[in-house]
Amino acid sequence: MQHGTRSNGIAHTVGGFASAAAAEGGPDLWEQMYRLNVLTTLNIFRAALPPMCAAGRGSLLAIGAGAAVKAPSGLGAYAGAKSAVHRLVESFADELKADRIRVNAILPSIIDTPQNRAAMPDADHTAWVRPREIADAIAFLLAEDASGVTGAFIPVSGRV
């Protein structure tokens, strides 16, 4: 985002993760995942739109999830919420393409963070996606070089 009142692009990186078997995760977990992932995407996209519409161009980017394409065991609520984020990206992309506002998502796999390392100490961390790799994908999709890309879901999966 640039300084001042004009916004050329924004990457929405707010979200949350939790795991539980689909048959065991209660309504509170599903609601939490929905609020953290879907409603934050909707609210941030809506807040970013007025200056982009005024400028006649812009780029919105969400963090989706590879798990939303094919949900693994134990991630039903998370995958369901991220699937809804994907549908928001599709809807916004279709609605805003005539306004020259691009809307895309990247789909990371396991991100190499201290929290994930602590939660999975025996995993092969070298296969995980480095935050820098995600940042590079975000920078590309927000840049003018990607002006022809909208409604795309770009996997950033490392070697997972």
Mean pLDDT of the chain: 93
Residue 3 has pLDDT above 50, yes or no: no
* Domain residue ranges of the chain, discontinuous segments joined by +: 9-156
Q: What percent of the chain has pLDDT over 90?
A: 83
Sheet holding 101-108, edge to edge: 9-12, 58-63, 101-108, 153-156
Class of domain 9-156: alpha beta
Q: Residues 86-103: what's their mean pLDDT?
A: 98
pLDDT in tens, 116-133: 999 899 999 999 999 999
pLDDT at 38: 97
- Residues marked active site are found at 78
Q: What size, in residues, is the chain?
A: 160
pTM of the model: 0.91
| Under 8 Å between Cβ of 109 and 157 | yes
